Amino acid sequence: MSAPVLSWADLPQRELTYDPTLLNLRWTFGCGQAFRWRDIGGGWWTGVVSGCAIRVRAEGERIVYASYPELREDFWRDYLRLDFDLGLAYEELGATDLHAQRAFERWAGLRLLRQEPQETVTTYICTTANTIPRIMRAVEGMSRLWGQHIATIDGTAYHTFPPPAAFSPESIPILERDCNLGYRARVLVRAMELIDSWPVGWAEALRAMPHAEARGALMGLPGVGPKVADCVCLFALDKDEAVPVDTHIRQLAIELYLPELAQRSLTSNAYNRIAGTFRERFGERAGWVQQYLFYSHLVRHRDVPVL
């Protein structure tokens, strides 16, 4: 059965209401944590999540959206983690740290997403020594090549993210060339082959584990070091204490908290020292502060690789 050809204007328009100081789509979708959202102008964002093509825009307190197929009723509460009390985090964490307070004010409404774990593992393996625009192109290329065609809407084709079984040794040259992954292609395929052998429910099992245990399990995958594991923990597994340490966070930590690390490379000890410092200062919500400070640094250094 071929995918339908549709127009956003003809799809049912839905909405929800939320405090705009606690939900900003631009900061949330554009801060580097997810790679399938596109700013198409006029305040509209399009993306593919959970097998659905989505268009969404904030209009004051109203979040207006359409999707194909229809999103489940609790989708936005789950995906945007609307059950997390961001206002309380601003109040409590901002009171303890001036740098966090300034970032909260500048990027008010940036929320961590609850993403699909397998997709998050796959996309973050692609981030090593890479820039966000290139990662986005690679992810879109993989979806176009091996994902299912959901629909073509206003001339744009939307595809699901491919499952682990779609990645095989035969796909390596295509990943290297057409998705511009280079050496990451072989590592990615090995990781996907392992995930494909894991039992159904592996993601739920990792969510139920403590951070250190989930992180260790992820680091058993090819291409998954501490930074990638912590990204998956933070952006997909509800481990808010996870602090991914990359080039941006290392530079920020030296600038703001740990000047004595200025002459050291990002060794395992330095990584743990930086992440530990964030957790000492911000506790179980350290990952939220990390993302706000990361985005501040990213905006200042747009051409710097993610790691």
Task: Cis check for the bond before 244: say yes or no (omega within 30 of 0).
Answer: no
What residue has token string 């600038």?
255
- Reference 132, options 298, 290, 277, 294; nearest CA is 298
pLDDT of res. 303: 52
Angle CA 80–27–41, to nearest 5: 105
Structural domain for 171, as ranges? 117-227
- In a shared domain, residues 66 and 137: no
- Gap between the terminal Cα atoms of the chain: 42
**Residues 133 and 206 placed together within one structural domain of the fold:** yes
Q: What is the CATH number of the domain that holds 189?
A: 1.10.340.30
Q: Is 227 a catalytic residue?
A: yes
Query: Which pLDDT score is estimated for 301?
Result: 74
Structure token digits, residue 165: 């079984």
Contact assessment for residue 153 and residue 7, using Cβ atoms and an 8 Å cutoff: yes
Catalytic pick among 55, 227, 239, 285: 227
Question: Which stretches in the chain have pLDDT values below 70?
Answer: 1, 302-307
| Total number of domains in the chain | 3
pLDDT at 145: 97
Secondary-structure percent of the chain, ordered helix, strand, coil, rounded to 5 = 50, 15, 35
Last residue of a domain, one of 106, 132, 164: 106
User: DSSP per residue over 229-249, as a string?
Assistant: HHHHHHHHS--TT-----HHH
Classify residue 237: in a domain, yes or no: no
